[in-house]
Structure 1
Amino acid sequence: MAEIPSPDVTQSRDMESTRPLAEERRTAQAIDVDCVHPRTWGDFQLLQRLGRGGFGEVFRAWDPMLEREVALKLLLPRGQDEEQQFATLITEARAIARVRHSNIVSVYGVDRREGRVGFWSDYVRGQTLAAWIAACGPLNEEEAAKVGMQLCNALAAVHNAGLLHRDIKPGNAMRDQDGRVLLMDFGLTQELLATASLAGTPGYLAPELRDGQQASAQSDIYAMGVLLRFLLSGSPVPLVPAPGKQKTPSRLQLIIAKATEMDPKARFASADQMAKALGEIVAAPAQRPQTVWSKWLSLPWLVVLLLALGFVFGPRLFRKVDSGVGPAAGTPAYADYLAANEALGRYDKPGNTDKAISLYQAALKNSPNYALAEAGLARAYWRKFSDTSESKWADQATEAAGRAAQMNPNLAAVQMTLGSIHVDQGKFEVGVDELQKAENLDHRSSDVHAALAEAYRQQGRLDDAKNEFQTAMDLDPDNWRWPYLLGALQIDSGDLTGAEKNLKAALAKSQDNARILYDLGIVYRKQDRLAEAQNVLEGSVELDPRPNPVTELGNVLFQKGDYAGAIQRFQQAIKISESKYGAWGNLGTAYLASGEGTRADEAFRKAIALGLAQAAKTPEDSFVVSVLGYYYANIHDRDHALPLMRKAVALAPGDPDVLERVGEAYEQLGDRQQALAFLEKALKQGYSASYARSDPALKALRRDPNAPSAIRESNSSR
């Protein structure tokens, strides 16, 4: 399960805003998407880049209008007139719309959005023929003939519509999950490519094209013959037999020879004719000579023996090969995969995520088509992104998840990984759909149920989330992560009693766990059990001195009135990670409380600079917006503070933390009336009165006769 932290978890001075689940999660808005790929094209959500070439990029995308996945190809500008480029595509698309064939990937639409021309088609879950042959090796003659016949029938439909393909190759044909072979990428983009350079792929180009002649149906047939040669031998280049080793060519080899004649007139007259020749091989495969062994193996009693062995040994005897599930038990790749899972399962231990990444990579080196290891690698990369906020890890995670899906999308772990990443990127619709597919594939997986719980939590479906976490605990009662994550959710929802119970249950299963201790410290602080909070947080920092527990420890000291100790902890957090804007903001607040105004101003300005970078990625995050408004208010910059405060309230009018922070910002700006109004609303929404009573920034406000009664002090109070 990919567990992601929020955009920034070193919280502001407002202790109530610390969110443990947010510490484990990150939304897509926090990813520096420019370093990965665009997130949208018009209304389409770009889920995963499948490929990139000289003409453009291909994405797996989500069409929100029809609620389905599509393959979206976005063309790169080619220095020609944009209107002419778009007109050419429209003409080609209309021609392709006339083609109807079960072995052709249909194009759904063409458009120009955000300055880029693109078209979208059916998204096929499967492998290109290039990837299939690389994974499984060359085909026998009958298998190659079956594939070739499907492709020739598709090519005939293209030719009958008055179109040419121009770029037939293994990478432009797919084998889907059901074994159907589909021809892709015909018509569209070829006119555009031809204007810049010779269209087609070297090795598959007919000789007349290399001589500068026009493309024709016969040049497509030539490329189809080379493709058949690739399926049969693994190479598009003819194999020259050694002297004295010449054999009588087989029927398929004769078909390949005819299709790849130098003279176009000597080739098959049409793709229909070539498909018919291949069909004869499929209908009447060559009879292999029967040896003594083959006669013996055909005896009926052997069938009974094999069935008996299957009953005794089960799937170990008849194991499906190249399913992407992975190597057999006892192999080095399998051992590395199990060790990687174990390391990632204890991601709380420093260095374990890096260890998991190395082990998954080792497993894939020994077994390149290992879909489970590729999915595990994606989750490890995402965990690395969670802990470092470096977008390169998000990029590698999405790429690894995509490779896993290409290897075998019918594995629950693969669908779970895709779904978890998409949910954490804010693509809830497609993410939940993938997680539900994962549940259908394996309803007994605790990881899948926990991933669904996180998706529901992010959607605000807290009851559904709690039920899914409970199911995960029922299925895997010894795993610390499930009560830990449920406890974190309960902290967010205000159920501190339930959170404490579940976090202690998690701690009993994993006693040296810094993450559990960190969350437990938050629970204790929220209950004003500051001594206990300090004790467990010091334990968390000792195990893993990350910025989050160090900052939370500073928050506890601040709440105890130990401003010098708080300053020391906030400075420690900044030394660990200087890019955390919340740590700088906390440091500014502590300086302000201790009377060091100049240092406070410097810290707030640093927090603002870092916070603005985050706000550019998450402009609708009410927490980030309100914190920035609070920082600006503390340096008395009304022009910047007020718009941010108003926006924060508009984004989250019922969030008590946001309301309190805005009220305190108004107090800093000298607007007591607005400060009182927002603080009153915050308290009614559940903001802790004890925090407001201990906040030194609200000391003067608490003595105001109009202050809320829950926090009001007499003028003689100290």
Structure 2
Amino acid sequence: MNEEPTLPLPTEPSSTASVSAASRKWGGFELLARVGHGGFGEVYRAWDPHLRREVALKLLLPGVVGGDQEYQMMLREARALASVQHPNIVHVYGIDRHDGRVGFWTDFVRGKTLSVLLGDQGPFGYREAALIGLDVTKALSAVHRAGILHRDIKAENVMREEGGRILLMDFGLSALPQRAANLAGTPNYMAPELFVGSPPSAATDVYAIGVLLYFLVSGTHPAKLTGLSLEQMKAALRKRTPLVDVRSDLPEGFLRVVNTAMESDPSRRFSSAGRLAEALAETLGSGATSASSEVIPPKKRARVAVFAGAGVLLLLIAGGAWKFEGSRRSSPASAGTSVSDDDLYQRAEGLLLRSYQEANTVEAVKEFQALLAANPNYALAQAGLGTAYFIQYRGSDDPRLLEMAKAATSRAIQLDPNIAPPYVTLARIAAMEGQNALAMQQAQKAMSIDKRNADAYRALSEVYDAEGRGDDALASMQKAADLAPDDWRWAMNLGGLYLKAGRLDEAAQEYKKSADLAKDNATAYYDLGLVAMRRNKLDEARASLERSLAIEPNAGTYELLGELLVLQGKYGEAVTTGKKAAGLSPNDYRIWGDLGGAYLMTPDGHEKAMEAFRKAVTTAEEARKKEPNNPELLVLLADAYAWLGEKDRSAVLLRQTLTLSSDDPNIDYRAGATYEILGQRDTAMRLIAKALARGAYVADFERDPYLAGLRKDPAFTGILADAKSKNAVDTPKKRA
């Protein structure tokens, strides 16, 4: 029962060893360095000539896998692992056999494992441990849904990547045949039933997470089993040290979660990784303070600041400049700035608050640069410059701007770690990337610095939204609006949350407020038009969209207006509008698909429709190279193929879409509409009814000319009623 090396291992110099010239190859891979070894195999940093990138390659020792039957079993498991897409899981790329050895390869990740971090900085605070546990349990839940067990969860197999993302790694034991022994794993993390011959299960993985949480907050394990005989292990497990005896200062709720996860009786543990995640979330509560405010050794606080700088700026949605609410906190870094400097800073900040106009962002950059030329240590100006660069990056996708944004924001934190705006930005970045634990930490850090910072509540709202906690997301965003009622952004964000929840009247009210607060904001009128369409107020929607276009001609707005005109039966105008959209954004597959649909409804428009659909396929396939698992892209590509008569391709893409979409009602609706084109009405009715029962595209469905036949089908009424009934039953469970 050897402890397996982590895959991939942290890339610290001491962990690598050169590879002899005689063994530099395995199949097509070039072995660069051995970074670990254990009882089942070796781990290498390797070069993949096909992907043209470094990967972590795990080569199992000869004899670990027997004949073809066992290899095929591993191959099926590896394929299942490769299908799991989750931001907190290291992606598995492939598995193969060469030179009598089985190997599989994954991302090569740079960072430090939790065991290394704990050794460097001492035990974690319980909040930080709980936030890490949330990411691990969500990753494990995705693995379990794929029918896979991890079987070796431990601190060495969880990494904090450079930038802060938590990653669950090393699925080597999960892919090993069962004959590799039920006791395969790390003794200190293994559930008691494994020592009496019971097979591994989801419950044994849950137990391991309980031990992991215990270890993170205490630096020790409940029972030290390594090096003991089987009987000695059983005896040691019966004498486990309760966590409260090691850390009596921990809250009762956290202790209860750990104890439940580590129950000796599997039936008394959390019934799933998801249930454990819910319990951890409850220990934090909506009013939790920053994890970094726990009693942490000074060395740990310094490291947290480093991570804050390393993961800088990957997200700000439109108009996402921060606003520093309340009095600005002075610091040694920004002390000595003159009144004129402060005036210039306020002007630049005001420009960023109107960043929906590109010229304002350009001018803000100049203002911040002028400030920093006069005073390079002005931390808030550094943070503002980073924000401005990132807004420009969002509009151009120029990677140089992103690097400039990272550098400026990192510099701001170095100058003054006690200002809120940089942490707000980091929280929003992490929420966008699915790094919810890190996002929560950064948002809470910002709140601990400035409790009146409306942006911090907005960031917290985005974390809750990413976790599917809609009510909490709305409550946090409302706090932001209460703190700064004249800021158009909060009304716009509230409108978006209400729209997502299907609360259309409230969404319309907030979007109207946003437009009134920023009358020159084209995006606000676009949103107002969108929600009016969903409310089936098409004339009102058209007026808002045309107002938006009068302020700023935009391809996306023309596209939405074209969809509206199709619903109004004004197909010639829809074609004209669609051509304007394509002229502004010729590589947007959505626009070409909509234009093809409009052409279909015009006299003699069939050939031009097919030409537009072919253009949609070309542009979508190009985009697919970068986003192969984007459900929205795949479902629209399936639609274009269906109109072009390539039914088999369309059907394959639809199945892939529905597998990836996680029960998204909007995707269900679009997939159903495409199944109608393919002539598979039963499937079309089921998916569209399911989507409509959850509030998706109700107004569109009532007018959609392509679904006229389905609407008239007598069977659809019963299917829709059944879907609404099921949705009414399921909704309370989801809220719970």
- Shorter chain as normaliser: what TM range? 0.5 to 0.7
Separation in 2 of the partners of 1:704 and 1:368? 70
Q: Which amino acid aligns with 1:682?
A: A
**Equivalents in 2 of 1:381, 1:74: separation in Å?**
37
Q: 2-side partners of 1:75 and 1:610: how far apart?
A: 44
User: Are the structure 2 counterparts of residues 642 and 652 from structure 1 closer, same or farther at C-alpha, using a change threshold of 3 Å?
Assistant: same
Q: 2:354 matched to 1:357?
A: no
For the 8 Å contact 2:629–2:660, the answer to whether it is kept is: yes
Q: 346-355 or 475-484: which moved more?
A: 346-355
Q: Gapped runs of 5+ residues in structure 2? A: 1-5, 25-30, 38-55, 59-104, 122-326, 722-736
Matched, 1:417 2:425: yes
**Compared CA separation, residues 423 and 327, structure 1 to 2 (3 A):** farther
**C-alpha distance 523-118 of structure 1, shift in aligned 2 (>3 A):** closer
Letter in 1 for 2:631: S
1:623 aligns to 2:635 (yes or no): no
Equivalences for residues 427-506 of structure 1 within 5 A: 427-506=435-514
Q: For residues 510 and 535 of structure 1, what CA distance do their matches in structure 2 show? A: 17
C-alpha displacement of 1:508? 2.9
Tell me, in whole angstroms, the C-alpha distance in 1 between the residues paired with 2:541 and 2:650: 33
Q: Which residue matches 1:697?
A: 706
The 5-angstrom pairing of residues 372-411 of structure 1 reads: 372-411=380-419
Instruction: Call closer, same or farther: CA 1:353–1:608 in 2, change over 3 Å.
Output: farther
SS at match of 1:444: coil
Which residue in 1 is equivalent to 2:40? none
Residue 609 (structure 2) pairs with residue 609 (structure 1): no
Larger CA Rg, structure 1 vs 2: 1
Find the aligned partners of 1:411 and 1:336 in 2 and give their Cα distance. 18
Maintained 8 Å contact 1:654/1:685: no
Deviation at 1:625, TM superposition (A): 2.2
1:554 shift after superposition: 1.7
- Structure 1 distance, partners of 2:346, 2:11, is 34
| 1:449–1:468 contact (8 Å) kept in structure 2 | yes
Rounded Cα–Cα distance in structure 2 between residues aligned with 1:653 and 1:118? 29
Supply the AA of the counterpart residue of 2:418: N
- 1:537 match: 545
- Kindly state the Cα deviation for residue 519 of structure 1 after the two structures are TM-superposed: 0.8
2:715 match: secondary structure: coil
Cα distance in 2 between the residues matched to 1:684 and 1:453: 26
CA distance in 1 between counterparts of 2:109 and 2:563 reads 52
Residue equivalent to 2:595: 587
Contact preservation (8 Å) 1:111, 1:118: no
Shift of the alpha carbon at 1:567? 1.6
Is the Cα–Cα contact under 8 Å of residues 557 and 565 in structure 1 kept in the other structure? yes
* CA distances 1:164-202 after superposition (whole Å, capped 9, x unpaired): xxxxxxxxxxxxxxxxxxxxxxxxxxxxxxxxxxxxxxx
Q: Secondary structure at the match of 1:708?
A: helix
Q: How does 1:605-684 map to 2 (within 5 A)?
A: 605-652=614-661, 654-684=663-693
Residues 636 and 431 of structure 1, relative CA distance in 2, 3 Å threshold: same
- State the shift of 1:454 in Å: 2.0
Seen in structure 2, the aligned counterparts of structure 1 residues 531 and 367 have a Cα distance that, compared at 3 Å, is same
Shift of the alpha carbon at 1:492? 1.7
C-alpha distance in structure 1 between counterparts of 2:407 and 2:609, whole Å: 43
Q: Summarize the alignment of residues 101-112 of structure 1 with structure 2, pairs less than 5 Å apart.
A: none
Change (3 A) 1:575 1:651: same
Structure-2 separation of matches of 1:427 and 1:705? 47
- Amino acid corresponding to residue 360 of structure 1 in structure 2: F
* Residue in 1 that maps onto 2:579: 571
1:510 aligned to which of 484, 508, 518: 518
**Deviation sequence 1:218-239 (CA, Å, 0-9, x none):** xxxxxxxxxxxxxxxxxxxxxx
| Cα distance in 2 for residues equivalent to 1:658 and 1:326 | 53
- Cα distance, 1:483 vs structure 2: 1.1
How many residues are treated as equivalent by the alignment? Answer: 436
Find out whether 1:560 has 2:589 as its counterpart. Answer: no
Deviations 1:13-63 (A, max 9, x none): xxxxxxxxxxxxxxxxxxxxxxxxxxxxx878xxxxxxxxxxxxxxxxxx9
| Alpha-carbon distance between aligned partners in 1 of 2:449 and 2:330, rounded to the nearest angstrom | 19
How far did 1:560 drift?
A: 0.8
Residue identity opposite 1:337 in structure 2: Y
Please give the residue correspondences for 1:99-138 in structure 2 after superposition, counting only pairs within 5 Å.
Answer: 120=112
Unaligned residue ranges in structure 1 (runs of 5+): 1-41, 45-62, 64-69, 91-109, 126-314, 713-718
Q: CA deviation at 1:327?
A: 5.3
State the secondary structure of the residue aligned to 2:717. coil
CA contact (8 A) 2:17 2:35 kept: no
Structure-2 separation of matches of 1:74 and 1:116 = 17
In structure 2, how many angstroms separate the alpha carbons of the residues matched to 1:499 and 1:474? 17
Q: 1:636, 1:668 within 8 Å by CA — same for their partners in 2?
A: no
CA distance in 1, matches of 2:533, 2:671: 22
Question: Amino acid of the residue matched to residue 405 of structure 2?
Answer: A
Cα distance 1:653–1:405, how it changes in 2: closer, same or farther (>3 A)? closer
State the SS of the aligned residue for 1:448. helix
Can you list the C-alpha shifts for 1:450-501, whole angstroms capped at 9, x where unaligned? 1221222222221111111111111112211111111121112111111122
Query: Residues 639 and 512 of structure 1: is their aligned pair in 2 closer, same or farther, counting only changes over 3 Å?
Result: same
Output the CA distance in 2 between the equivalents of 1:654 and 1:366. Answer: 54
CA distance in 1, matches of 2:516, 2:625: 41
Distance, in Å, in 1 between the alignment partners of 2:599 and 2:412 is 50
CA contact (8 A) 2:420 2:447 kept: yes
Question: Separation in 2 of the partners of 1:681 and 1:85?
Answer: 51
Listed as ranges, the matches of 1:222-371 within 5 Å are 320-321=331-332, 323=333, 325=334, 328-332=337-341, 334-371=342-379
Following TM superposition, by how much is the alpha carbon of 1:523 offset from its aligned partner in structure 2, in angstroms? 1.4
TM-aligned CA deviation for residue 587 of structure 1: 1.1
SS at 1:328 equivalent: coil
Distance 1:534 1:356, change over 3 A: same
- What is aligned with 1:106? none
Could you tell me how far apart the structure 2 residues matched to 1:537 and 1:544 are? 10
Amino acid at match of 2:391: R
The alpha-carbon distance between structure 1 residues 466 and 385, as it changes in their structure 2 partners (threshold 3 A), is same
Measured in 2, the distance between the counterparts of 1:115 and 1:699 equals 48
Distance between the aligned counterparts of 2:107 and 2:458, measured in 1? 41
User: Shift of residue 662 of structure 1?
Assistant: 1.4
Change (3 A) 1:625 1:368: same
Q: Rate the CA distance shift 1:661–1:320 in 2: closer, same or farther, 3 A.
A: closer
CA contact (8 A) 2:528 2:541 kept: yes
How far apart are the structure 2 equivalents of 1:115 and 1:539? 48
Contact in 2 for aligned 1:484/1:516 (Cα 8 Å): yes
Tell me which amino acid in the other structure corresponds to 1:543. Answer: I
Q: Read off the aligned partner of 1:416 and give its amino acid letter.
A: V
By how many angstroms is 1:320 displaced? Answer: 4.6
Change beyond 3 A, Cα 1:436–1:599: same
Q: Give the deviation of 1:613 after TM superposition.
A: 3.6
User: How far is the alpha carbon of 1:562 from its aligned partner?
Assistant: 1.0
- Call closer, same or farther: CA 1:459–1:319 in 2, change over 3 Å: closer
Residues 664 and 675, structure 1, Cα contact 8 Å, conserved in 2: yes
Q: Which amino acid aligns with 1:593?
A: M
Q: Is the 8 A contact 1:551 1:569 kept in 2?
A: yes
Q: TM-score, normalised by structure 1?
A: 0.55
For 2:539 and 2:719, the matched residues in 1 are separated by 24
For the 8 Å contact 1:588–1:601, the answer to whether it is kept is yes
CA contact (8 A) 1:411 1:441 kept: yes
2:606 & 2:455 partners in 1: Cα distance?
Answer: 49
| Rounded Cα–Cα distance in structure 2 between residues aligned with 1:644 and 1:372 | 48
RMSD (Å), alpha carbons: 3.7
Change (3 A) 1:437 1:562: same
CA pair 568-114 structure 1, distance change in 2 beyond 3 A: same
